[in-house]
């Protein structure tokens, strides 16, 4: 089930994002880069994102409890997708596709002509498969000052959906 994130989700999201990048971004970034990046995943940063943008989570029943499988963030005001992370155990099952579609349909997003994002290099193929096109190389600056090579991408809404 995809739903709007709640403040209490913030405690669970650092572990989800850490597992996601360590498992799925290791093919394109070094262990040092990934460790520096993951060190910035703290609950308060997710609370700020919830307050200032729209954050969605994918939640499922698992053994009587609720488990978060993925989260995504859209800043509709600036027409940007800021984040999309699927837990390794849920990868390859359509979770990312469903969450991306939900972000694109989020309140405010339907009014924008195009969405932009900065894709980690491992995720470029995923976004291309969902109607985004490459716009050129960019970087994501970490708190340490180190930079992750990324690809700037855009999608004209109404295409590829
Ligand atoms: C990229 C990511 C979100 C994809 O999520 P996912 O749930 O595994 O992807 P899905 O199962 O929904 O895949 C949907 C389709 O995209 C394709 N796809 C998924 N990842 C892909 C990739 N890296 N390259 C090319 N195609 C990809 C799948 O094959 C599938 O196509 P199909 O239906 O024709 O088989 C996930 O791998 C992830 O969280 N990666 C780490 C975090 C990250 O890099 N996020 C992006 C930050 S900008």
Torsion, Cα of 130, 136, 137, 141 (10° steps) = -70
**In terms of CATH architecture, what is 2-156?**
3-Layer(aba) Sandwich (3.40)
Residues with CB under 6 A from ligand 1: 20-21, 24-25, 84-86, 91-97, 119-120, 122-123, 125-126, 129
pTM of the model: 0.95
Digitized pLDDT (tens) for each residue of the chain, 161 residues in all:
999 999 999 999 999 999 999 999 999 999 999 999 999 999 999 999 999 999 999 999 988 889 999 999 999 999 999 999 999 999 999 999 999 999 999 988 877 889 999 999 999 999 999 999 999 999 999 988 889 999 999 999 864 44
Domain boundaries, the chain: 2-156
Half-sphere exposure of 41 (CA within 13 A, CB side): 20
């Amino acid at each position: 089930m995809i739903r709007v994130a709640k403040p209490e989700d913030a405690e669970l999201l650092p572990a989800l994002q850490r597992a996601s990048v360590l498992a799925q971004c290791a093919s394109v970034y070094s262990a040092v880069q990934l460790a520096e990046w993951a060190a910035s995943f703290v609950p308060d940063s997710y609370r700020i994102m919830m307050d200032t943008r729209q954050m969605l989570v994918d939640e499922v029943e698992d053994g009587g409890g609720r488990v978060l499988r993925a989260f995504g963030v859209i800043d509709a005001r600036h027409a940007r997708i800021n984040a999309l992370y699927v837990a390794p155990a849920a990868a390859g099952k359509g979770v990312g596709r469903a969450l991306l579609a939900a972000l694109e349909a989020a309140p405010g997003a339907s009014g924008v002509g195009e969405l932009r994002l900065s894709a980690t290099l491992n995720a470029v193929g995923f976004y291309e498969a969902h109607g985004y096109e490459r716009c050129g190389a960019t970087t994501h600056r970490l708190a340490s000052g180190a930079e992750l090579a990324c690809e700037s991408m855009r999608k004209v809404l109404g295409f590829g959906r």
